[in-house]
Structure 1
Amino acid sequence: MSIASFAILPKPMWEVAWVYLRAGIPELWNRSARLAWIIMAACAVLLAILSVAMGFHYAPYLLTAQFVILLAIAAALTGAGWLRPALIMEMAAILMATFLVVPPLCSVLAAFAMPLQDSALAEIDRRMGVDWVAIAFWFRDHPLLSRVLCDVYASNLWQPVVLIVALTATDPQRLRVMITASAITLAITMFGFFLFPAMGPYWHFNFTPADFPDAVNVMPWEQPKFIEGLRNGWREMVFSGIVEFPSYHAASAILFAVAWRGVPIIGVLGILLNVVMFVSTVPVGGHYLIDLYVGAAIALVSLALAKRYYRATDRIPPLEAWTRTRDGRRFLAALRKRPIVSALIKRTLKTSSKEAATA
């Protein structure tokens, strides 16, 4: 439906939508990933200030309008009592906000041209007994495995979408914690990138794309070009991952693995996928090993902070897991009759306290 089409809708329909919107805004905020929104708002303000101060031009009017529409839909759905669809819309809005704010802010931070830390990071790896050059050559000598790792590495593009849909049904509170922990992790990794910028080991050890003819991911060689340009006065936003230390990819693997624990049946497959993604971050993403350790530590701290925040600030019960509702229990009970599915289901079906009280 086009925007012009709304002009011919019956007035009562507009009035009902407006009533739902006004009623849904406060309730959406109470149920939302509030801390994630606070972090994104702070990053957006910082981005606006630094963009003006450093001469960056950034005006994503269309994407911002789409973002506002998503939030309005989420609020209206909440006001109408359709809480799970509202949750999906809110999470989609957070993903869009992240895309609008985080890569541009990383671009601005790169332009500060703090001293590069590749030598220090490579030295830390060496002291831990890691031969990064040997790892890179082993990776090159196994082209089939390299392609598999590249595909797994790229799964961070679609995993959030799948997890949003799955956890909206099975464990909404886990979804909110994961999204919030992701926002905290992003903020910390951007701060780390500002203080400890690096080009990556492929650049540090003077590897070229010709040394890895079967490499699918070319970002380890493109990333230094972007950073170099920004450090030398280029004032265009880069919408690609340029953060080397700490590794947000490694942190994502931890966050996603914890999130997949809340998905029945296929959750174990998601956990295994992220174990492989964590490992792939070194050869495919071009990260030092210390990047992974620090990224993983940040993810675990962020998860703890997110859980603590919602335990302390929630004033209404979180949205109940669908698997604990009457329909959800019936659906999973039917699946348990299948031997393969029964072997994968780890969680015992529980009757919600609300249903037990009304039974």
Structure 2
Amino acid sequence: MGGFRIADHVLASALVQLAALGACGAALRTRGWERLGSGAEVASQLLLAGLLAPLLSVVAAGTNLPYRDQDLLDLDMALFSFDWAHVIAAARSWPLLLEVLSHVYASLLLQLAILVAVLLIIGCVARAQAFCLAWVLTLAATVAVFPLMPALGGYLHFGVAQADTHVLVTAAWHHVEILAPARAGTLSALTGDTLGGIVTFPSFHAAAAALLAWGFWGVPVLRWPALAINLAMVAATPVIGGHYLVDVLAGLVIAGLALCVATRLARVAPPSSARRDPEALAPTS
């Protein structure tokens, strides 16, 4: 209806294959292969969500509502007395810190893979399933809210080039290469090149940090290192990702609500593995 189409046969094939992987996982679970089947299901759902969310965000950008950067900056100042431009200017004098935070910011997908693998290996199947549901709900919510508050992000809004910073991650600058044509109506063919994140408000990176910290809390040996890394990721979101502070707050709120829904649903209708894993969904505090 919006005039968009999937124009990449590799992408279309990946979507079909991931759906098939999820179906195989469900079949394995019905035959008693609980851990292997759940692993296939969780992997397929996370990967499908990771493909569909950026594609849907491109479609959502076609609403082309005015950029709201100044409104977000005003909210930062009114709610937190947070001056994004002043903070970034001060951060430039800490090049090593920005480089370290860049690596932390870029660790999201690696953390995700490690978390899911570890939870399944140690038998915390119920926690892995609840985490997966919360992750998908959070992605859906960010895509739904995004077209109402589209924004360029601080670096592009203030015209700060990446070469003038010590930020190693390019996301805060290159997302406009997808965002601008999607808003202008000149991008209609969805391909692998349109999979980059274009959402500023709410920040999915901040939301993901909260979800990952919750997921790793179920792994005692990793909970404190993971908490430290993900607190650092939240701190890195404005200076590395170019997000405003209200973006971060909105992402954390969405993640909290998604976790509430996911854990409540898991308790209402627990799978057989959840009955063998009574600690998997224990409160984190």
1:87 corresponds in structure 2 to: 38
Q: Is the 8 A contact 1:170 1:262 kept in 2?
A: no
- Superposition CA RMSD, Å: 2.2
- With over 3 angstroms needed to count, the CA separation of the structure-2 counterparts of 1:165 and 1:206, relative to structure 1, is same
**Residue 312, structure 1, aligned to residue 268, structure 2:** yes
Check conservation: 1:170, 1:263, Cα contact below 8 A: no
Match of 1:232 in 2: 184
| 2:58 equivalent in structure 1 | 107
Instruction: Work out whether 1:152 is the aligned partner of 2:101.
Output: no
Q: CA 1:228–1:76 in structure 2 vs 1: closer, same or farther (change >3 Å)? A: same
- Name which structure has the greater RCO, CA cutoff 8 Å, separation 6+: 2
1:262 aligns with 2:224: no
2:235 paired residue among 243, 257, 279? 279
Distance in 2 (alpha carbons) for counterparts of 1:232 and 1:281: 27
Partner of 1:141: 93
C-alpha offsets along residues 1-21 of structure 1, whole Å, 9 cap, x if unaligned?
xxxxxxxxxxxxxxxxxxxxx
Q: TM-score, normalised by structure 2?
A: 0.88
| Aligned-residue offset at 1:200 | 0.5
Letter in 2 for 1:280: A
Cα offset, 1:170, TM superposition: 4.5
Matches within 5 A, 1:325-336: none
Amino acid at match of 1:284: I
| Aligned equivalent of 2:47 | 96
Given that 1:153 and 1:280 are in contact with CA atoms closer than 8 Å, whether structure 2 keeps it comes out as: yes
C-alpha distance in 1 between matches for 2:268 and 2:220: 28
C-alpha spacing 1:315/1:281, structure 2 compared with 1 (3 Å): closer
What SS does the corresponding residue of 2:63 show, helix, strand or coil? coil
Counterpart-to-counterpart distance in 1, 2:160 and 2:54: 26
Letter in 2 for 1:151: H
TM-superposed CA distance for 1:319, in Å, is: 5.5
Displacement of 1:139 in angstroms is 2.4
Relative to the length of structure 1, the TM-score reads 0.71
Q: 1:221-247 CA distances to partner (integer Å, 9 max, x unpaired)? A: 112232111111222432011100011
Q: Provide the C-alpha distance between the structure 2 equivalents of 1:154 and 1:119, rounded to a whole number of angstroms.
A: 27
Matched, 1:178 2:119: no
Alignment of 1:1-359 (within 5 A): 52-58=1-7, 60-127=11-78, 128-168=80-120, 169-212=122-165, 214-233=166-185, 234-237=187-190, 238-314=194-270, 316=272, 318=274, 320-321=276-277
Q: Percent identity?
A: 32
What is the distance in 2 between the residues matched to 1:178 and 1:170? 14
Number of residue pairs matched by the alignment: 273
For residues 163-205 of structure 1, give each alpha carbon's deviation from its aligned partner in whole angstroms, at most 9, with x where no partner exists.
Answer: 1111122422222221111111111111110111111111111
SS at match of 1:146: helix
Compute the displacement of 1:99 (Å).
Answer: 2.5
CA contact (8 A) 2:175 2:197 kept: yes
Q: Which has the higher mean CA deviation after the structures are superposed, 65-74 or 252-261?
A: 65-74
User: Bigger radius of gyration, 1 or 2?
Assistant: 1
The amino acid across from 2:228 in the alignment is L
Retained in 2: the 8 A contact 1:55–1:235? yes
Deviations 1:131-151 (A, max 9, x none): 211221232221211111011
Would you say the 8 A contact 1:170–1:323 is kept in 2?
no
Report the CA distance between 1:130 and its aligned residue: 0.9
Gaps of 5+ in 2: none
Distance across 1 between alignment mates of 2:32 and 2:70? 55
State how far apart, in whole Å, the 2-side matches of 1:286 and 1:261 are.
28
Shift of 1:317: 6.1
Deviations 1:69-93 (A, max 9, x none): 4224313432442211212111110
Distance 1:316 1:210 in 2: 53
Q: Distance in 1 between matches of 2:213 and 2:222?
A: 12
Deviation at 1:107, TM superposition (A): 0.5
Q: Distance in 1 between matches of 2:188 and 2:106?
A: 27
> Hey, what's the Cα distance between the residues in 1 that align with 2:277 and 2:271?
18
Give, in whole Å, the separation in 2 of the partners of 1:119 and 1:91.
39
- Indicate how the Cα distance of structure 1 residues 322 and 162 shifts in structure 2: closer, same or farther if over 3 A, else same: farther
Identify if the C-alpha distance between structure 1 residues 171 and 312 changes in structure 2 by more than 3 Å, giving closer, same or farther.
same
Alignment check: 8 A CA contact 1:172 1:319 kept:
no
Question: Is the 1:74–1:85 Cα contact (8 Å) retained in structure 2?
Answer: yes
